[in-house]
Amino acid sequence: MSDVIKDLSELRLSYEQGELHEAQVSDNPHLQFLNWFNHALTANLHEPYAMSLATANTQGRPHVRTVLLRGATEAGYDFYTNYDSQKGLDLLQNPVAELLFYWPSLERQVRIGGQVVKISEQESMDYYHKRPRDSQIAAHISTPQSGVIESRELLQQRFQNLQNQAQTDELDKPEFWGGYRLEADYYEFWQGRPNRLHDRLSYEKQNGLWSIQRLMP
């Protein structure tokens, strides 16, 4: 077993990939996001649609985890989960959240914040039935999500039992599972730069229009 690294102070990289200037970005932050997101897709990054989702309960205790972006429109940014999960409980109490996309090989990250609402039951059903069969089964048996289970073997047994029962029948979407949409009211685009003088541009809505500001690194 290798020794534990005790000093991380000398580990650093210099960011050299690009620049971010006000004259080069879209006035519409969603279009700017799509520009960067499509760049990440065409660069064949590993799961560029993976994003950190930060929520907090009414006591202000934050929770963060990685989820997958499953829709991106002017209306908002969609993800799916178990409504009884920790994230679902947080959003029930405090329906605001923030997303973070980080694409290290491009030296870019995007923060998107806003109110979160449930998407329609029909949209959730449509997406559920697009999922692979085993993912549909997993949604049924993994409840309450984040709840304690005695062993991996018990989880596997639950999965196998439902897999055997539902070999031919179409599975209905569980009532406790579905989608959320983050309705953005804040964006921040970050481009790494040399000497830690990073470019950061934020978008905030004022009187129905987006204003762009440069932030200190």
Largest Cα–Cα distance of the chain, in whole Å? 60
Residues 131-140, mean pLDDT to the nearest whole number: 89
The token duo for 133 is 């069969």
3-state secondary structure 42-108: HCCCCCCCEEEEEEECCCCCEEEEEEECCEEECCEEEEEEECCCHHHHHHHHCCEEEEEEEEHHHCE
Instruction: Indicate the fold that domain 14-82+91-128+179-214 takes in CATH.
Output: Pnp Oxidase; Chain A (2.30.110)
**According to the annotation, is 197 in a ligand binding site?**
yes
Stretch 117-139: mean pLDDT: 93
Instruction: Flag whether 131 is marked binding.
Output: yes
Give the pLDDT confidence score for residue 148 in this predicted structure.
86
198 annotated ligand-binding residue: yes
pLDDT tens, 15-70?
Answer: 998 999 999 999 999 999 999 999 999 999 999 999 999 999 999 999 999 999 99
196 is in an annotated binding site: yes
**Cβ–Cβ < 8 Å for 52, 109:** no
Q: Is 124 annotated as a binding residue?
A: no
Residue 168 annotated as part of some ligand binding site: no
What is the DSSP code string of 129-141? TTS-HHHHHHHHH
Domain positions in the chain are: 14-82+91-128+179-214
Helix, coil or strand: residue 30 = helix
Q: What angle do CA 11, 16, 17 make, to 5 degrees?
A: 120
Please tell me the predicted confidence (pLDDT) of residue 183: 97
| pLDDT attached to residue 110 | 98
Least-confidence region, from 53-57, 137-141, 175-179: 137-141
Residue 1 has pLDDT above 80, yes or no: no
Q: Is 148 annotated as a binding residue?
A: no
> With contact defined as beta carbons under 8 Å apart, do 72 and 122 qualify?
no
- 146 known member of a binding site: yes
Q: Write down the pLDDT at residue 2.
A: 61
Is it the case that residue 164 has pLDDT exceeding 90? no
pTM given for the model: 0.92
| Residue 14 marked ligand-binding | yes
User: Does residue 87 have a known ligand-binding role?
Assistant: yes
- 66 annotated to a ligand binding site: yes
pLDDT at 3: 67
Whether 91 has a binding-site annotation, put simply, is: no
Q: Is 69 annotated as a binding residue?
A: yes
Higher pLDDT, 133 or 75: 75
Q: Is 133 annotated as a binding residue?
A: no
Q: How far apart are CA 48 and CA 125, in angstroms?
A: 25
Is 108 annotated for ligand binding? no
Check the annotation: does 105 bind a ligand.
no
- Is 171 annotated as ligand-binding? no
